[in-house]
Structure 1
Amino acid sequence: MRPEHPSDGARLVPPPGCPAHGQGASGIHRLYGPEAEKNPAALYERLREQHGPVAPVLLHGDLPAWLVLGHRENLDVMRTSSLYSRDSRRWNMFLEGRVAPDSPLGPTLAWQPLCVFADGAEHARLRGAVTDSLEKFDRRGVRRYVVRHTKQLVAEFAASGEADLIPQYAEQLPMLVMTQLLGMPEENGPRLVSACLDLMKGTETALASNDFLVDTLRDLVKRKKAAPGRDLASWLISHESGLTDDEVMEHLRLVLVASNETTVNLIANTLRMVLTDPRFRANLAGGHMTLADALEQVLWDAPPLSVVPGRWATGDTTLGGQEIKKGDMLLLGVAAGNVDKEVRPNLSAPVHGNRSHLAFSSGPHECPGQDVGRAIAAEAIDTLLTELPGLALRVPEEELSSSTSWVSQRVDTLPVTFQARRAPASESAAAQSQVRPPVAATATPDGSPVAGGQQPVRRSWWKSLLPWR
C-alpha cells in the first residue's frame, strides 16, 4: 500500500501534540529536528526500506517534500530540467502561502536572480558568467593563498603542541581564501565564517545572517564598479552577459556560501578520516592512495552536502514508483545516493579514481567551482600536515561530536596533539608579503609566464603517517 502523497497539505499539517520520534501527524518522517539529525544515514536507510528510491518527508514547519534516495533517480532529476525545474517559484507551498515569512527555509529556497534558480537560456547566460569568471583563477594562485593562510593560522597555535582543527583551522581557512578571491577585505573573514555556518544550519538567526551577507556583498559590488581589480567580483561585473548589480551580488553570495560550506566540510571530513581510519591512513602512507584519491573517497563516503534542495516538478510525473505532482519539491539525497547498493554493493571496497559520486551534482547545474574547491581542500590538508609533524588525535574517536543539519553533516571537533614548535617572529609577515593578487591562468601567481611546468620539490608529509600503523 502506497503512503499518502505528501502534497496533501490538509493531511500533513500536524496539530498540537503531534506524534514524536521525528514524525508528523501523518506518520511521515521529518528531515529536521533531533531525531533526524541524530543519525541521518540510518534515517535514509529506513526511508529507503519503507518507500524505495523516493520517499515522502517533512521539512521545517512540516512542509512536505520528496527525498530522492536512489543514485539513478538522483541523476534523472539532476539531468532532466524539463521535468524538474530549479525555479522555486513553482513550489506549491509558496503558491499556497504555507511558507512562513520567517521560515529558516527562506534564504535557501526563496527564488533569487541567480543561475541555480534558472533554467534554459537564462540559466546559460547566468551560469556562463560564473563559469568564465571562475576559470580565470590560476590554480597555483589559489594554492598560494591557501599556503599563506594555513601558515598564519598554524602560527597561532603551533607553540602549544595542541589544537582543535575544526574551529581553529577548517572553519577559518576557506573563507579567508575566498574573501580574497572575491576581492573582499581580509578582515571580513571571521564574521562571514559565522554568518555562513549559521545560514546553512537554518537556525532562528539564519535570516539575520543572510542580511549581513547581502549588505556586505552589495558594498563590495559598489566598490569594485568604482575600482575594479583581478578578482571574481570585478570579472562578474565586466562579463559580456551584462549582469545587473543584483545578479552580481547574488552570484557572489552563492559562490561565497556554497564554496565555504562545502570546502569546510570536505576538509573536516577528510582530516577525520586521516586521523581515525587506520586503513585510510595506511593506504595514504603506503602510496596506495594519492591525496586526490583520498578526497574522492571522502566525497563518496561523507559528501560536503548530504541533501541538496531542490527541484520542483513542472508537471505530474512518476519517479521511483512515486506519483509526483506538479509543484512538488524534490530534495537530492546525495549522501543516500552515494551508498545506493545498485552502484556500491560493497561499501567497504575503495572507489579510487571514481568520480561518479553525486557530491557535485550532475547535469546543467553541476557545481562550476568544484575544481577550485578541490584545490583548496587538497592544499589545505597537505600544507597543514606538513606544518604539524606527529599529528594525532587527542581524544578517543567516540568522543568526537558532529554538527548535523538537514542539508549537511560533519565532525565539529578534532582535538589533536603534534610536535610543538616556536615559529620565527618574521614567519607570518614573510608569508603575507609573498602573496599577490590572483591572475589569469596563463601566468604564475607573481604575474610571470608559466615556464616549463617546473614545480618546487616538497618533502611528502605522508611519511609521518607510517608510525601510526
Structure 2
Amino acid sequence: MTTPHHEPTGTATAPPPGCPAHAGGLNGLRRLFGPEAEQQPYAFYETLRREHGPVAPVLLYGDIPVWLVLGHRENLEVMRSPRFSSDSRHWRAVQEGRLAPDSPLVPMTAWQPLVAFMDGEEHARLRSAVTESLERVNRHSMRRYINRYANQLIDGFAARGQADLVADYAKKLPALVVAQQFGIREEHALALGNAVADMISGSENALQSNAFIVEIMTELVERKKKQPGNDFASWLIRHDSGLDDVEAVQHLRHALVASLENCVNLIANTLRVVLTDRRFRGSLSGGQMTLPDALEQVLWDHPPLAVVPTRWAVGDTVLGGKEIRAGDMVMLGLAAGNVDPAMRPDLDAPVHGNRSHLSFGAGAHECPGQDIGRAIADTGIDLLLSRLPDMMLTIDASELQVVGNWMSRRLISLPVGFTPHRRADHTGETALPSVGAALPPIAMPEPPAPRQEPRRPAGRRSGLLGWLRRR
C-alpha cells in the first residue's frame, strides 16, 4: 500500500568526529524521533532511502548517532552475519559515557542475561530452552482455548450491537490465550495484558507495570517448581539447559511481552485493513486470498515492530556501501525493509504465499513463537467475522487514530456496529475474569521472540470470506 512522500524538515548540525555521520561522509543527521519520523514513518524512510541508500545515519535521543538499515537484503545480512552482535556491551556510546543514565534508550538496550542480548554458546543454551519448550505447546488444544476465549469475549459485547475491537477483543484475546499456555492464573491474564501495554507505551506508570509483570512471573516460577504442569513455564524451568530462577523469570517476562505486543497489533491491524481497504476486501471477496494470506499481507505492510535497536558492529565493516565502525549501533528497520523497492517494486501488488517479510526477524534471533501468534490471530479473527458478519465501522476511516514512536505504532480503537446477537451456548465453559481487572498498587525495585505453521489448503474458505460474500 503506497504512502505519499513528504519533503524532509530539518537536520541536525554536523556530528562529532568518529560517529556514523562521518563514517559515511555526511554533513548532518535526521532525527529518528519527533514529528517528521513518527507521524509519517514510511515517508521518512523513503526520504532517507533517497538520500543515503539502503543504510542511513540518524540520531536517537540525546543526539546519539546510529545506523538505520532500510534495505531488505541489508537487514537480513545484519540478522544473519556474525559481524553484528546482539550484545549491547559492544556499544561505543556506552563505553564512552555518551548515553545518559536516564535516556529512554536504556530500558531497551541495557544488557541483561537474556537470549535477546546473547551470542554464541550462551545464546544457543538459552535459545534451546525457549524454542524446545514452545514446541511442546499442543497446537490443537491451544486452538480450543482460542475458540473458548474468543466466544466468551464476543458474548460480552454481541448483545450491545457495538464494540471497540481493539479494547474489547484484540487486547484481551492474546492475553487470555498466552496466559493459559504459560501456566499463568486466569485471573491475572487481563491485568497482565494491561501491564504489558502500559509498559510498552512508556507511560508514567511503566515502571509499576513492569514490576507487576515481574512479580507475577516470579510467583509463576515458584509455583511451577513445586507443582509443574503441561505449560510453557514448567517446560522452561525443567529444561536440560538448566535455567536458574532469575533466568526463568526474565525469559518468561520477555516472551510474554514479545508475544502480546506482536499479536495484539497483528489482530488490530488485520481487522482495520479488512474493514477499511476496498482493494484488500475486493481481493478476498473474489476468492483470491485466504485469511492466512491476509495476515501475511498485514505483516508485510504493518509489522508489529517497525525498528529493533539490538544490533552492534563487532568490528569495522561495510554495509550497504557505508563504512560501519566497531561499536556502532545498527538498527534493524523492519518496516522500511518490508517496503524496499528492490524487494517490492509495486507496493499495491498482493504478496500471496510470500513469507519473506522481516516482521519476525531471521537468523539466530528469529522469533521462535510466531506460529502461536498467527494461530491466535487467524482463529480469533475468523470466529469474530463468522459470528458478526455485518460489522461496519461507526466512524470514518480517516478518524481512526494510530499512536506510537519510532519503534512501533498502535491502533487506538476500532469502533464497529452490527446487528445485536444473543449470547451463544458454550456449555461447560467457565466465566472470564473481570474485564475491568486493574493493576494492583505494587511497589517493587526495578528488576535486574516462532516455528512456521503449516499453511491451510488453498481451497479453505474462512468466515471472513463468507462475511464478505454476504455483504
Distance 2:372 2:20 in 1: 45
Say whether 1:465 aligns with 2:463. no
- The TM-score, its normalising length taken from structure 1, stands at 0.86
**Equivalent residue, structure 2, for 1:20:** none
Q: Report the 3-state secondary structure (helix = DSSP H, G, I; strand = E; otherwise coil) of the residue aligned with 1:67.
A: strand
| Partner residue in 1 for 2:96 | 96
Corresponding residue for 2:150? 150
The alpha carbon displacement at 1:220 in A equals 1.2
Q: CA deviation at 1:4?
A: 5.9
Give the letter aligned to residue 212 of structure 1: F
Letter in 1 for 2:95: L
Show the counterpart of 2:254.
254
Q: What is the distance in 1 between the residues matched to 2:210 and 2:29?
A: 30
Displacement of 1:176: 1.3
Kindly tell me: are residues 40 and 203 of structure 1, through their superposed partners in 2, closer, same or farther at Cα, counting changes over 3 Å?
farther
Question: Secondary structure of the residue that 2:416 maps to in structure 1?
Answer: strand
CA contact (8 A) 2:196 2:260 kept: yes
Structure 1 match to 2:241: 241
Distance 1:419 1:467 in 2: 14
Cα distance in 2 between the residues matched to 1:459 and 1:194: 30
What one-letter code is carried by the residue in structure 1 that aligns with 2:172? Q
Please say if residues 6 and 64 of structure 1, whose CA atoms lie closer than 8 Å, have aligned partners that are also in contact.
no
SS state at 1:64 partner: strand
Say which SS state the counterpart of residue 242 (structure 1) adopts.
coil
Q: Distance in 1 between matches of 2:466 and 2:21?
A: 59
CA contact (8 A) 1:262 1:304 kept: yes
- Cα 1:184–1:428 change in 2 (3 A) is same
In structure 2, what is the Cα distance between the partners aligned to 1:390 and 1:374? 24
What is the SS of the residue equivalent to 1:175? helix
Instruction: Describe the shift of the 1:11–1:366 C-alpha distance in structure 2 as closer, same or farther (beyond 3 A).
Output: closer
Distance 1:322 1:246, change over 3 A: same
Whole-Å separation in 1 of the counterparts to 2:84 and 2:245: 28
The aligned amino acid for 1:50 is E
Quick one: distance in 2 between partners of 1:417 and 1:209? 32
Displacement after TM superposition at 1:219 (Å): 1.7
Following TM superposition, by how much is the alpha carbon of 1:236 offset from its aligned partner in structure 2, in angstroms? 0.5
Cα-Cα RMSD: 2.5
SS class of match (2:251): helix
Q: Summarize the Cα distance change of 1:155–1:242 in structure 2 as closer, same or farther, 3 Å threshold.
A: same
3-state DSSP of counterpart to 2:351? coil
Q: Secondary structure of 2:310's partner?
A: strand
Map of 2:428 onto structure 1: 430
Instruction: Give the superposition deviation at 1:433.
Output: 8.2
1:72 is aligned to 73
Q: Which residue of 2 aligns with 1:28?
A: 29
Residue in 2 aligned with 1:443? none
Q: Give the match for residue 62 of structure 1.
A: 63
Counterpart code for 1:39: Q
Matched residue type, 1:431:
E
2:355 is aligned with 1:352 = no
Between the aligned partners of 1:261 and 1:317, the Cα distance in structure 2 is: 33
Segments of structure 1 that go 5 or more residues without pairing to the other structure are 13-25, 435-456
Task: Name the counterpart of 1:269.
Answer: 269
Q: Is the 8 A contact 1:134 1:232 kept in 2?
A: yes
Give the stretch that moved more between structures: 256-265 or 61-70: 61-70
Residue 249 of structure 1, CA deviation: 1.0
- The answer on whether the counterparts of 2:214 and 2:249 sit within 8 Å (CA) in structure 1 is yes
The structural deviation recorded for 1:11 is 9.6
Provide the residue aligned with 1:438 in structure 2. Answer: none
Aligned AA for 1:292? P
**Identity percentage over the alignment?**
57
C-alpha contact 1:7 1:64 (8 A) present in aligned 2: no
Could you tell me which residue of structure 1 aligns to residue 196 of structure 2? 196
The alpha-carbon distance between structure 1 residues 414 and 126, as it changes in their structure 2 partners (threshold 3 A), is same
Q: Deviations over 1:270-294 (max 9, x none)?
A: 1011101122112223321011111
Which secondary structure does the structure 1 equivalent of 2:406 belong to?
coil
1:317/1:379 CA distance change after superposition, 3 Å: same
Q: Secondary structure at the match of 1:332?
A: strand
Deviation at 1:395, TM superposition (A): 1.2
Q: What is the deviation of 1:165?
A: 0.4
- Larger deviation: 185-194 or 293-302? 185-194
TM-superposition CA deviations, 1:87-112 (whole Å, max 9, x none): 01111222223333333323321111
Tell me the SS of whatever aligns to 1:287: coil
Q: Which residue of 1 aligns with 2:5?
A: none
Q: What residue number does 2:4 align with?
A: none
1:335 deviates by 0.6
Distance 1:352 1:57 in 2: 34
Number of residue pairs aligned between Structure 1 and Structure 2: 430
What residue in structure 2 maps to residue 446 of structure 1? none
The Cα offsets for residues 320-348 of structure 1, whole Å up to 9 and x where unpaired, read as 12221111111100110011111111111
How far, CA to CA, are the matches of 1:153 and 1:403 in structure 2? 25
Displacement of 1:204 in angstroms is: 4.5
2:50 equivalent to 1:49: yes
2:34 maps to amino acid: G
User: How far did 1:198 drift?
Assistant: 2.6
Q: Deviations over 1:125-180 (max 9, x none)?
A: 11001110000111112211211111121122111101110111111111111111
- 1: distance between equivalents of 2:57 and 2:203? 23
One-letter amino acid of the counterpart of residue 323, structure 2: E
The 1:149–1:62 alpha-carbon spacing in structure 2 relative to 1, beyond 3 Å, is: farther
Partners of 2:362 and 2:16 in 1: CA distance: 26
Name the structure 2 match of 1:110. Answer: 110
Please tell me the residue identity of whatever aligns with 1:466.
R
CA deviations over 1:20-44 (Å, ceiling 9, x no partner): xxxxxx8522222333211111111
- Match of 1:419? 419
Q: Distance in 1 between matches of 2:354 and 2:21?
A: 43
